[in-house]
Amino acid sequence: MEHRVLKGFPADFLWGSASAAYQIEGAPFEDGKKASVWDNFVRIPGKTFKGTNGDVAVDHYHRYKEDVALMKELGLKSYRFSVAWSRIFPDGKGKVNEPGLKFYSDLIDELIANNIEPVVTIYHWDLPQALEDEYHGWESRQIIPDFVNYAETLFNAFKGRVKYWISLNEQNVFTQHGWVLATHPPGKKDMKLFYQVNHHANLVNAAVINKFHELNIPGEIGPSFAYTPNYSIDSNPKNVLAAENAEEIFANFWMDVYCQGVYPIVALTYLKENNLMFDMEEGDEELLKSAHPNFLGINYYQSSANAWNPINGGVQIGEMNTTGVKGSGGEQGIPGVYKKVSNPAVDRTNWDWEIDPMGIRIALRRITSRYRIPVMITENGLGEYDKPEESQVHDDYRIAYLSSHVKSIQEAISDGASVIGYHTWSYTDLLSWLNGYQKRYGFIYVDQDETMEGSLKRIPKDSYYWYQNVIKTNGQEL
Ligand code: BG6
């Protein structure tokens, strides 16, 4: 619907920005930290763009005060960052590594001293290698008590100072990349195992949320889901059905579990028919149903148009574009279920991510109607080539992307969605897991590249000053 007048953003709206430990910190073995699965995976030849790794990243571990000072100048209301599990428990469990905990404690104090609300992601993909070695990490249910113990340590250490917690970042992404595409650790291609691992992650998520509520930690907790809303390419009922399939298997399959504690029926039928069904143990269903997130975190980058894909001879999983050459990504699909096709109604980035601001509104409306839960946008942003010119970066394309998405969120709020915050991806430029430093997202340019020998100088881009004004006017000037 069109609104004659849009509702304003709530007065306490969290205008934020986000990052993740491995992508910014560096210092992988400092102050007692031991390896995470990413510290090792990046050393396998051919796994990352030009062999980039996070050994230095953008050196946030040593420069966090400088980074927070720039946040203050920007006027950020909140900052979402993740904790590296192996800084807190170098072996995944056992004795707490106090210097590791102190790093995050100091960061939180620094944020609070500058009136910035910390939003803490408990897990953004960097599993301690020790747990991978001991029991194959997510493949074993042993991860449940170890994860809960880790999360409880953070809850107790930071309670009262941290009000917003993200349990898992993009469970749908790390499980698919790790066990279907082999592009993230542990680099496997095993569809059945993927569904089993994913079920364990659901149990972890539920157990952590329950622990948070049992301990009466003041604040709110929820998972962050990478939601790519599915459309049909046209009104052909076969294509509409394909889009419904994609929505059921790639969206509701996670969000229904988070918000309603049940797996969607069509998805379960598909798994059973294809011998992909995971083991459910006694008590699992009850655990999933008993957990109630306070909000749903949504990472939104793009939508997806879908078409019919025949069971015989249909398109399979294809190559992702990690080259930055527009049009180099292959078609993706599951025969008999769906295939993703190019949407002629929208433009795309150099990495073939479809630019669709209205998609974030559609996403928010679907979530509001289906789950009636508040949403925190935990990521949204544009990855592009940025080039500094005389100590300035003119990223008008990023301003256009962000501004149109914020406007669309305002429209969703006017439609009735409850949105508590907006975190751009990302605060500074950082290491893209698979794309090195050529694909940049930050408000702040960092002089770092694939040689990993940059000066690490920080340069606020034009988008930094644009966002400063957005925050100052509480979203009235976009
Ligand atoms: C999200 C992740 O999937 O997208 C981030 O939570 C990631 O960690 C971001 O960096 C952008 O992805 P990419 O591949 O463009 O760096």
Query: How does pLDDT run across 102-134, given as a tens digit for each residue?
Result: 999 999 999 999 999 999 999 999 999 999 999
Active site residue 379: yes
What is residue 27's predicted lDDT score, i.e. its pLDDT? 98
What is residue 3's predicted lDDT score, i.e. its pLDDT? 94
Homologous superfamily (CATH) for 14-304+346-473: Glycosidases (3.20.20.80)
pLDDT tens-digit profile of 233-283? 999 999 999 999 999 999 999 999 999 999 999 999 999 999 999 999 999
Q: Which of 190, 189, 184, 174 is nearest to 47 (CA)?
A: 184
Which range is least confidently modeled, 163-167, 193-197, 255-259, 326-330? 326-330
Average pLDDT over residues 454-467: 97
This prediction's pTM: 0.97
User: Of 247, 354, 379, 384, which is the active-site residue?
Assistant: 379
Distance CA 205, CA 57 (A): 28
Enter the DSSP assignment of 278.
P
Q: Which residues line ligand 1 (CB under 6 A)?
A: 20, 169-170, 173, 226, 299, 379, 383, 425, 432-435, 439
Reply yes or no on whether the pLDDT at 324 is more than 90. no
Q: Which of 47, 123, 227, 441 to mutate to test the pocket of ligand 1 (most atoms within 8 A of CB)?
A: 441
Reply yes or no on whether the pLDDT at 329 is more than 80. no
Q: Which of 167, 300, 354, 432 to mutate to test the pocket of ligand 1 (most atoms within 8 A of CB)?
A: 432
Neighbours of 114 (CB within 10 A): 15
Reply yes or no on whether the pLDDT at 327 is more than 90. no
Q: Which residue's CA lies nearest to atom 10 of ligand 1? A: 432
Provide the terminal-to-terminal Cα distance of the chain, rounded to the nearest Å.
21
% of residues, the chain, pLDDT over 70: 100
What is residue 325's predicted lDDT score, i.e. its pLDDT? 84
Reply yes or no on whether the pLDDT at 320 is more than 80. no
Reply yes or no on whether the pLDDT at 319 is more than 90. no
Active site residue 244: no
416: alpha, beta or left? (left if phi > 0; alpha if psi -120 to 50): left
Looking at every residue in the chain, the average pLDDT score rounds to: 97
Q: Which of 71, 11, 15, 82 is nearest to 421 (CA)?
A: 15
Cα-to-centroid distance, 250 and ligand 1 (Å)? 17
What is residue 323's predicted lDDT score, i.e. its pLDDT? 82
State the virtual CA torsion across 262, 263, 265, 271 in degrees, nearest 10. Answer: -150
pLDDT tens-digit profile of 34-71? 999 999 999 999 999 999 999 999 999 999 999 999 99
- In sequence order, which residues have a C-beta less than 8 Å from that of residue 121 and are 6 or more positions away? 20, 80, 81, 82, 83, 166, 169, 224, 378
User: Of 110, 117, 132, 170, which is the active-site residue?
Assistant: 170
Average pLDDT over residues 318-328: 79
